[in-house]
Structure 1
Amino acid sequence: MQIRRVVTTREGGASRPPFDTFNLGDHVGDDTDAVAANRRRLAEGIGLAPDRLVWMEQVHGRTVGVVDGPRARAVEATDALVTDQVGLGLVVLVADCVPVLLGDPVAGVVGAVHAGRVGARVGVVTAALDAMEGLGAVRERIEVLLGPAVCGACYEVPFDMRADVDKHLPGSAAKTRAGKPALDLRAGIWQQLADSGVTRVGVDPRCTVEERTLFSHRRDPGTGRFAGVVWVDA
């Protein structure tokens, strides 16, 4: 079995500004027909049927949904999905938060996590690891991609917020280019994974604020969402 991972951009879709053009979020005010067309295009592009993509109603929490088949609707109030089913694509939507795509190619278990500041702070990534273990994954075999997200140089936060998040997510404290307090969530998650026994971690270095082929809520409030997708390919 192989683990497949895909990260989309904002290009090549049917949405009009400010969601131009490949917006996959159905909760941001975009035309529903355009979003549906974009989601069909995503499925076609990665070789899965549209009903084999599983979506989340993301709420910045630490709830994990264990998925054993297609879902007609997004999994309610969850920020991570895991499955051991072949050909079932788990989708995470982001526009500055970290899309975390995990997979154990031996056990055939995958996970998709929406790790924003709040979710990462309260342990959504480690909760997903626990759920994957429940399906037979082994932490030492899990391979992870930390997708594009706002970088530490662009994610300015109040000093007290940085201290609080770094207390719960060590390694996340950073500074902007101007020396202001900031957060680097990918660095904190990387450290959290290493501390949890997961060492096979790749990082997509693109910053969503700086890279205009990606959606960024901090740069453009009211914009669309790009996706990270992970699935087991037989």
Structure 2
Amino acid sequence: MLTQTRPEPLRSPLLDGIADAGIRHGYFTRPGGVSGGLYGSLNTGTGSADNPDHVRENRRRVAEWMGVEPDLLLTAYQIHSPDVIVAREPFSGERPKVDAIVTDRPGIAVGASSADCGPVLFADPQARVIGAAHAGWKGAFTGVLENTIATMESLGARRDNIVAVLGPSISAANYEVGPEFIERFVSADAANDRYFAPSGKPGHALFDLNRYTVDRLTKAGVTADALYRCTYAEEDLFFSYRRSTHRSEPDYGRHVSAIVLERI
């Protein structure tokens, strides 16, 4: 895993299908960075306890792959909210506390950090408007996906032209939740019961975050898909908050998934 010397992100066939519009994207994985130990090796999490110099170098490598300067790889201070910001220049000072970033400016890569939660990349190839959202259960449940779409529309996008793809996130097989979690979803909409399967533990269930996210995107009127890669199960490729918790590790790395409008 750690012998790879440069990032080689996963890609979405759906987003690759609009690459002719000058839109570049990548769902970055663990290999290709300089961090060691439990952060090995492409940890881009500025909120981790990793060596800050290593994080900066890792982010520089991601920015280079995306074709932008390091200060134009924009990620927010994520707080599991439904909030979205429009970015048209580098952030000055502290990063905004939001969970999605939208732009219509070429040369700015917008990204979402994750380590089990769902990174969703959005693009309208005709209006040339893009976005990146961090959608864990709370963000997806409270509307970050729909708010990202609405913000893109405010910049001229049309939802029937938008494609949105969920990147690597925790799969249902590894996402056991308790009765309060289940009740929250089913109370909001009885149909949400279909996203839960028995886990074998009384009162608990396995939650399908991938399906829930894609269904919400589709219901919102965009063309949606997912990579269906599990961050918990595929340790060589992905960081996982839940896996690190189960192992009582002191911290965990974060990936970044990013998208950029290339200058054409």
The normalised TM-score by structure 1 is 0.93
Contact 1:97 1:149 in 2 (8 A): yes
- Map 1:76-225 onto structure 2 (within 5 A): 76-168=96-188, 171=192, 173-175=195-197, 178=200, 180-198=204-222, 200-212=223-235, 213-221=237-245, 222-225=251-254
> Which piece of structure 1 moves more, 27-36 or 157-166?
157-166
Residue 229 of structure 1 corresponds to 258
Q: Deviations over 1:35-58 (max 9, x none)?
A: 011011111122221122112000
Percent of pairs identical after alignment?
35
Letter of the 2:239 counterpart: F
| Residue 124 (structure 1) shift | 0.7
Q: Runs (4+) of structure 1 moved beyond 6 Å?
A: none
What letter corresponds to residue 53 of structure 1 in structure 2?
L
Structure number with greater Rg is 2
Please give the per-residue CA displacement for 1:104-146, whole angstroms capped at 9, x wherever unaligned. Answer: 0000000100001111111111111110000000000001111
TM-superposed CA distance for 1:177, in Å, is: 5.9
Closer, same or farther in 2 for the Cα pair 1:182/1:167, shift >3 Å? farther
2:254 & 2:198 partners in 1: Cα distance? Answer: 24
CA RMSD, 1 decimal: 1.7
Counterpart code for 1:184: D
Q: Which amino acid in the other structure matches residue 230 of structure 1?
A: I
Once the two structures are TM-superposed, the CA of residue 192 in structure 1 deviates from its matched residue by 1.1
CA offsets 1:6-40 (integer angstroms, 9 cap, x no match)? 01111121112111111000111111000011011
Q: CA deviation at 1:78?
A: 0.4
TM-score (normalizing by structure 2): 0.83
Q: CA deviation at 1:173?
A: 2.1
Q: Are positions 1:67 and 2:87 aligned together?
A: yes
2:48 and 2:253 in contact (8 A); partners too: yes
More helix per residue? 2
Stretches of structure 2 lacking an aligned partner (at least 5 in a row): 1-20, 246-250
Instruction: Return the alpha-carbon distance in structure 1 between the equivalents of residues 197 and 150 of structure 2.
Output: 32
CA contact (8 A) 1:152 1:176 kept: no
Report the equivalent of 2:62.
Answer: 42
